Structure 1
Amino acid sequence: MPRKYLLLLSVALGVIVLDQWTKYLVVRELTTRFDDRPTLGERLSAMYGDPPPPGYDGLHFRSKRHIEISPSFFRLRYAENPGAAWGMFRSLPPHIRGPLFHVVSLGAVVFITWYFSKLSGKDPKERWALWGLPLVLGGALGNYIDRLARAFVIDFLEAHWYDKAAWPSFNVADSAIVVGVGLLLVDAFVRKEETPAENKSARLGS
């Protein structure tokens, strides 16, 4: 197997495992979902099986506490997002929202895999894309697992400014996607800047 595909698999799988593990810890520590389920098998079944109907707070898994990391800026709080990133499209009817996210998620996986296959894996200028694409792929699949399992994504990272302004809750998969997209933007900028210089050198050498 070419080395670049080992990188793709290892980074993407690493993101997926870290994402699902942190979500498991959040459900265990911040909700009551596992309170009457002592074994790992029972907990995984409760986490990935059909969720109970939402309660009075709108959550399928009832929250029992949150953790203040920095009271003025950051906390861990269980949240559920049936929509896309930052809650977009969450107001769409489920029979429209579900198929839409399936198509978008699978399309993203196909596009990322195709784009990655076009990289040589040997050119130093491709290093940003070689890391960025696996991060985006792992993040997309991490959240897609949530959608397949229970039709909503578990979020828990909450950044705020003295509770007067807050960034929408996010998770490890979202973070990987943001970092990956940032690397791809750097890749596009670097290769765009280097291409004219290469063309000029080629013309001078001919």
Structure 2
Amino acid sequence: MYIIPILIIILDQLTKYFSVVNLEGEAPIVLIENFLQLNYVRNYGAAFGIMNSQRTFFLIITIIIVFGIIFYINKYNNTKIMNYSLVMIIGGAIGNFIDRLRVGYVIDFIDVNFGEVYDFPVFNIADSFIVIGTILLVILVMTDNYEDKGKE
């Protein structure tokens, strides 16, 4: 199961490398007019740029969260899907952690907007896995499907 975060980290770092090489200092690459473009952005904060320039805080909190999740996975009888949601969060968190540690900010490049209605904040692959893992986690907890009740 721990291969999943490794694959997420590799995919995240490769796509960020691509964005630095091909997008930094360049005009955005439009993939779908008025919806999806690739646009290099340096994010010095957290999701959507909140808590700007709190690098040390994010490095420390990421370490605590990753080790907390690993402890939780190993201590409790979770369903497989619960563990998958948690390792997706780990992979995404470590992907952004590497950026903060290596360059001092998170590299974002996926830019989605809904025409004139809403311009979604720019994000990356790591962010996507954190969000997917978190949504899945919330659904599992709300439906009481996070614990493997067949094992004691």
Shared fold, TM over 0.5: yes
Unpaired runs of at least 5, structure 1: 1-6, 32-62, 199-206
**When the two structures are aligned, how many residues end up with a matched partner?**
149
Task: Choose 1 or 2 for highest CA Rg.
Answer: 1
Inter-partner Cα distance in structure 2 for 1:114 and 1:169: 32
Q: CA deviation at 1:98?
A: 2.4
Higher relative contact order (CA 8 A, sep 6+): 2
Unpaired runs of at least 5, structure 2: none
Percent of aligned pairs with the same amino acid: 33
Aligned match of 2:31: 69
Q: CA deviation at 1:194?
A: 9.2
SS at structure 2 position matched to 1:134: helix
Inter-partner Cα distance in structure 2 for 1:99 and 1:25: 26
Q: TM-score, normalised by structure 1?
A: 0.67
Instruction: Give the aligned CA root-mean-square deviation in angstroms.
Output: 2.1
Deviation readout 1:43-69 (Å, 9 max, x if unpaired):
xxxxxxxxxxxxxxxxxxxx1121111
Inter-partner Cα distance in structure 2 for 1:16 and 1:176: 10
Q: CA deviation at 1:99?
A: 2.0
Deviation readout 1:3-24 (Å, 9 max, x if unpaired):
xxxx1x2100010000000001
In the TM superposition, 1:1-206 aligns within 5 A as 7=1, 9-31=2-24, 63-90=25-52, 94=53, 97-120=54-77, 126-163=79-116, 165-191=118-144
Q: TM-score, normalised by structure 2?
A: 0.90
SS at structure 2 position matched to 1:170: coil
Inter-partner Cα distance in structure 2 for 1:193 and 1:168: 30
Inter-partner Cα distance in structure 2 for 1:155 and 1:22: 10
Deviation readout 1:123-146 (Å, 9 max, x if unpaired):
xxx122121001000000000000
Q: CA deviation at 1:103?
A: 1.6
